[in-house]
Structure 1
Amino acid sequence: MLEIREIEAFLSVAEELHFGRAAERLHLSTSRVSHLIRAVERRAGTQLFVRSSRSVTLNPHGAQLYAGLRAAYIQIERALDDVRRAGALGGGVLRVGFSTTLPEKLRPGLISAFERRHPECRVVASGLPTTDLFRWLGKEWPVDVFVTWMPPASAPVELPLHISPVLHRVPRAVLLGSGHPLAAHDAVDIEQLAEGGHPVIYPELPAWFGKHWAPATTPGGRTVRLRRLPAAYVEDVLRLVAEGESVHLTFASLLEAYGRPGVALVPLTGLPPVPVRAVWAAGPREHLAAVFAECAAACAGDDGWLREAA
């Protein structure tokens, strides 16, 4: 097996095509680099360079080895870099996604709390729809941690997801067209929606999440008339509600972020509030995400967000 110094010497000579420059790059003597290259060639069982008094070039065997070792070395360096960043926040950047429909105070509150506790780490925030989470599963995430609506406390075991404790709870509401017969009510109960047969939009959600968001049956056992529609974004839902008879089960803070003529938001009773949690994927950046989630939970407690929703 090649040692790391042997790999570095081989890559440096292959790239510099000069033993002296490679030695300077590695802060070694030229004779030491020559010794390391001879060791690599012994392990390979063949010469890897064509040497003359004036030049050094890779032969076909050397070119083949260079292609394989360079790719592997880059992967090793990336893995080490990820571990360094995860092990020490110093000077780092944490990419935090926030669902675009969260209560307005959460985003600045959580960022401020984290940066106060970890001034050496800067937060880069972005707003993303909740449904993006389900498109990221099994892929590389564009953020390190996502603060979003998350009714279940855990995901199916096959999903490599970490889910934090509840950071906030927001009362439920129902979004209706302004001309809907229930739009003028002070409140609407989920049993009332089911008994009246009002179609409820079921957005593009996996079953393990969606059954908490828009249940198929009410606590009283009535069937909810779910209408599955290709609505991945809140703008799609607002348009569908404004244009038709369908309603959407949502939360009381929705219109803080989105206002649209032709819709009404009415408090919904009969379903529990929607929890907000931090969610992140398993991987080399999960330590950073866990630090943020811990800080977010402390902030939620300090600011009384959970007592406020009780």
Structure 2
Amino acid sequence: MREIEAFLSVAEELHFGRAAERLRLSTSRVSNLVRAVERRVGAQLFERSSRVVKLTPQGAQLYAGLRAAYIQIERVLDDVRRAGSLGGGVLRVGFSTTLPEELRTGLIGAFEDRYPDCRVVASGLPTTDLFRWLGKEWPVDVFVTWMPTATAPVEPALRIGPVIHRVPRAVMLGSRHPLAGQGAVDIEELAEGGHPVIYPELPPWFGELWAPATTPGGRTLHLRRLPAGYVEDVLRLVAEGELAHLTFASLLDAYDRPGVVVAPLTGLPPMAVRAVWAAGPQEGLAAAFADHTAVYAARLGDPAG
């Protein structure tokens, strides 16, 4: 490993002195380690002169192969160190009730496979519960929910993990709404037609990203602020009148109500899903859950959505 580290450092620095400083070794020690690698492969890996150090074609080939392997080794070592420091136990994970069910089962399985000494206890909670917990004791250690931003202007600070998943936007309409029969609805069409849109009970920093007051084309969206903190409230309001609600294409996988249709919405970016948590005794494990589930989702093709 020391020989490999010396070779990679010189290949990246293209300078034996800087590579030695990086590894906290003497320059002669680094030079000897690189020569040992050259003996192993039976080829010269660097062209050396008084001013320039360059990779030979064989050196470039070896660097390309070893660098990826070295990163993987470091990642495995880090995972083991992290698992050892975190220990076992139970992680209470909340999932927004409007998330796709297959996402929940996939994330839990991936985390428990990586940390077999940890057990996930899952629960379904409305997205809006997150804002009621701020500054209070949370009923879960980490919450996987719709989160369009990586930072939140709240105190105490809200920890927000990387994007796990993205879901295209959609619009929920009553079956008698003038736009209900269309294959898709554009956000500009909602604004131009003066169609009222429900603005749920959300703080401004979050609500503006969920249902913007102004469309990308500069039109005003006719937002109607209503006490609708739960999706069941929204479904009832939409089914009863002419109100529209901006939502996600996966919503009807979890909810199905007569008199309500969901159509694809164009003109707004997909909504991100992230893990969020607050400071507490399980903060390290929550961060591990956020990081690993994001890596797991990326390997499956998310967060493209």
TM over 0.5: yes
Establish whether residue 201 from structure 1 lines up as the match of residue 198 from structure 2.
yes
Residue 154 of structure 1 corresponds to which residue in structure 2?
A: 151
Report if the CA contact (8 A) 1:87-1:287 is conserved: no
Residue 59 of structure 1 corresponds to which residue in structure 2?
A: none
Residue 177 of structure 1 corresponds to which residue in structure 2?
A: 174
AA in 2 matched with 1:210: G
Partner SS for 2:296: helix
Partner SS for 2:162: coil
Report the CA distance between 1:87 and its aligned residue.
7.6
| Percent identity of equivalent pairs | 78
Establish whether residue 210 from structure 1 lines up as the match of residue 207 from structure 2.
yes
C-alpha change, 1:233 and 1:87, in structure 2 (3 Å) is farther
Establish whether residue 94 from structure 1 lines up as the match of residue 91 from structure 2.
yes
Residue 52 of structure 2 corresponds to which residue in structure 1?
A: none
Residue 227 of structure 2 corresponds to which residue in structure 1?
A: 230
Report the CA distance between 1:151 and its aligned residue.
0.7
Report if the CA contact (8 A) 2:135-2:155 is conserved: no
AA in 2 matched with 1:265: V
C-alpha change, 1:159 and 1:208, in structure 2 (3 Å) is farther
Establish whether residue 263 from structure 1 lines up as the match of residue 260 from structure 2.
yes
Report the CA distance between 1:89 and its aligned residue.
3.8
Report if the CA contact (8 A) 2:86-2:284 is conserved: no
AA in 1 matched with 2:267: G
Provide the TM-score with structure 1 as the length reference: 0.70
Report the CA distance between 1:105 and its aligned residue.
1.4
AA in 2 matched with 1:185: Q
Larger radius of gyration: 1
AA in 2 matched with 1:234: V
Residue 17 of structure 1 corresponds to which residue in structure 2?
A: none
AA in 2 matched with 1:139: K
Report the CA distance between 1:302 and its aligned residue.
1.5
Partner SS for 2:289: helix
Structure 2: distance between partners of 1:268 and 1:157: 30
Partner SS for 1:112: helix
1:67-118 deviation per Cα after TM superposition (whole angstroms, max 9, x unaligned): xxxxxxxxxxxxxxxxxxx984433000000000012211000000000001
Partner SS for 1:166: strand
Report if the CA contact (8 A) 1:89-1:121 is conserved: no
Establish whether residue 116 from structure 1 lines up as the match of residue 88 from structure 2.
no
Residue-pair matches, total: 223
Report the CA distance between 1:158 and its aligned residue.
2.9
Structure 1: distance between partners of 2:151 and 2:179: 34
Report if the CA contact (8 A) 1:189-1:269 is conserved: yes
Q: How does 1:4-23 map to 2 (within 5 A)?
A: none
5+ long unaligned stretches in structure 2: 1-82
Provide the TM-score with structure 2 as the length reference: 0.71
Residue 123 of structure 2 corresponds to which residue in structure 1?
A: 126
Residue 55 of structure 2 corresponds to which residue in structure 1?
A: none
Report the CA distance between 1:176 and its aligned residue.
0.1
5+ long unaligned stretches in structure 1: 1-85
Residue 30 of structure 1 corresponds to which residue in structure 2?
A: none
1:212-271 deviation per Cα after TM superposition (whole angstroms, max 9, x unaligned): 000000001100000000001000000000001000000100000000000000000000
Report the CA distance between 1:283 and its aligned residue.
2.4
Partner SS for 2:87: coil
C-alpha change, 1:144 and 1:87, in structure 2 (3 Å) is farther
Structure 1: distance between partners of 2:156 and 2:128: 16
Give the counterpart of 2:286 among 277, 286, 289.
Answer: 289
Q: CA RMSD in A?
A: 1.3
Report if the CA contact (8 A) 1:89-1:120 is conserved: no
Establish whether residue 135 from structure 1 lines up as the match of residue 127 from structure 2.
no
Report the CA distance between 1:181 and its aligned residue.
1.1
AA in 2 matched with 1:117: R
1:1-25 deviation per Cα after TM superposition (whole angstroms, max 9, x unaligned): xxxxxxxxxxxxxxxxxxxxxxxxx
Structure 1: distance between partners of 2:145 and 2:84: 25
Structure 2: distance between partners of 1:87 and 1:243: 54
Establish whether residue 243 from structure 1 lines up as the match of residue 217 from structure 2.
no
Establish whether residue 253 from structure 1 lines up as the match of residue 280 from structure 2.
no
Residue 301 of structure 1 corresponds to which residue in structure 2?
A: 298
